[in-house]
Amino acid sequence: MTAAPATAPATPAARYAAVPGLLREIGDLKRVRTADAAGSMASRSFVRAWSALVAGAEPVAVADAETAAAVAGARLAGIDAAVLADAGLDGDAVQGVLRRAIDEVAEGVVHPATLAWLRAAPAPQGTTGDVSGVELPAFVDALCRQPRAGATAPGRARLIAEPPEDHGEHCWAVAVYGALLALDHGADRGEAFLLGLAHHLHNAVLPDAGFAGETLLGEHLDGVVDRLTERALATLPDDLGTRVRGLLAARADAGSPLGATFHAADVLDRVLQVHHHARAAAFTVREALDDLELVHASPVQEHQNAVLAAAGLLP
C-alpha cells in the first residue's frame, strides 16, 4: 500500500522549518562539477539564466526552468536533461527522471502549487555559457570569478573558509530559493528569481570585504554601491535593465511580499553556506561508512568489508 504524500506546511514560518534540508541539497550544486564544462552546476545555471534573460525570455519562464533543474539536481547532481538526452533518453523519459527527482526531495516540503509548476517546467536549454547567441554583459563572468568574503564583523579578523563560493553561485542560490518561497509570501516567483540573480551587481567590480568592509566604507558605501550597480544595469537591454532596477528597491526592507521573500532566501543561503563549512570540517569516516553506506549493499560487500578490516580502515 502506497503511503499518502506528506502535507506541505501552510505558513511561511512552517515552511522555514521544512525547507532547510531541501535548500541544503540544492546549495550543494555550488560544489558539483562535471567534465564537460568549467564551473559548478550553480555557476553554469547563473550564466544560463542571464543568457536567456538578455535574449528576451520572461523571468518567470527562466525561473521555472532553472529552479526545477536545481531541485532535480539536489539528487541527480550533474545528471541533467542534456546528459540524459545525450545518453539516449527521449523527451518523455528525460522529464520522467527529472520529475521523479523533484518529487523525492520537494513533495510535502514546498507549497503544493510550487510543486505543480516545478513538475511542469521544461528543462533549461543548453548546458553552460551563452546559450542564446547574444553577448553577455561583462558582470556575469565577473560575478562568477568574484569570491564571497565569508563571515566578517567590524573590528574582528575575518573567518576564512576554503574554498569560498563566488557571487554568481550565491546569487543563483538566492534566486532559486526565492522562487521556491515566493508563493508563501504572495510574491511573484519570476520577480523573486530575477532579484536574487541581480542583487550583487556592484560586486562585479567591488571585491567583497563583507560587513566589516562595508562598515569601513561608511558614508561612501551607498554611493559606491549605487554607481557600480548603475554601471552594470547600463549593459543590459533597456527593458531588462529598467525591470531589474525597479526590483532592486525591494532590498530595502522585508515589508513587501517581494522583500520578505528575498531576505528570507538571502539569509537562508548565507547561513546554510556556513553550515556547509562547519559540516565539512566535522565530517568523519564513520559517517561515510555507516550513515552514507559508502560500502553499500552488493554481491561484493562482504569481501570489501573484509579488505577494509584487514587494512585497518574500518572505524
HEC string for 138-201: HHHHHHHHCECCCECCCCCCCECCCCCCEHHHHHHHHHHHHHHHHHHHCCCHHHHHHHHHHCCH
| Contact of 171 with 244, CB cutoff 8 Å | no
Q: Which pLDDT score, from 0 to 100, does residue 103 have? A: 98
pLDDT in tens, 13-44: 888 889 999 999 999 999 999 998 999 999 99
What was the pLDDT predicted at 280?
A: 80
Question: What CA–CA distance (Å, rounded) separates 53 from 136?
Answer: 10
CATH of segment(s) 12-283: 1.10.3210.10
Q: Residue 144 in contact with residue 171, Cβ under 8 Å?
A: no
* pLDDT tens per residue across span 111-167: 999 999 999 999 886 655 445 577 999 999 999 999 998 878 888 888 777 888 999
- Flag whether pLDDT at 174 surpasses 70: yes
**CB 201, CB 228: distance < 8 Å:** yes
Domain extents in the chain: 12-283, 286-315
Measured distance CA(198)–CA(171) in Å, rounded:
7
Rounded distance, CA 199 to CA 167, Å?
Answer: 10
The band of 312, judged by pLDDT with boundaries at 50, 70 and 90, is confident
